[in-house]
Amino acid sequence: MHLMANRHTHWGKDNNPKMNMQLIQGQFTAREAQDLLTAMTEVKIRFHEKRITGESSEEEIKMRENRIKRLQNDLAVMCKGMNDSDNLVNIRSEFRVTAASEK
């Protein structure tokens, strides 16, 4: 299993930082891949759950609940696909962070 966390930071023309972090890159058994993807998905789900407060609008709550459901469904589909295979799988995950004004 290869986990990588390399940061590459450079500045754009307008002095806004652009950062990349290679989080995961490697081959994994189906079980390892499922464990890794499940853990990452759970972090994102907790992110959304923590942002639902008594002060959240109904629209925001619905948006976050729908996002959680999509994450859970996507994870289930991916895990099912991996269960049907004895092959190794490749996973690559990278974060790209730029100023909000950039696309």
* Dist CA 102 CA 23 (whole Å): 22
In 1-103, which ranges are continuous DSSP H helix?
30-50, 58-83
Q: What is the mean pLDDT of the chain?
A: 86
Specify the pLDDT at position 2. Answer: 46
User: Do 30 and 89 touch, CB atoms closer than 8 A?
Assistant: yes
- The two three-digit tokens of residue 54, written as one number: 């008594």
Q: At what angle do helices 30-50 and 58-83 cross, to 10 degrees?
A: 180
Average pLDDT on 82-103 reads 83
Residue with tokens 């991996």: 82
Where do the structural domains in the chain lie, given as residue ranges? 1-29+89-103, 30-87
User: Do 37 and 23 touch, CB atoms closer than 8 A?
Assistant: no
- The two three-digit tokens of residue 63, written as one number: 């948006």
40 has pLDDT over 50: yes
11 has pLDDT over 70: no
Among candidates 36, 9, 33, 37, which has minimal Cα distance to 22?
9
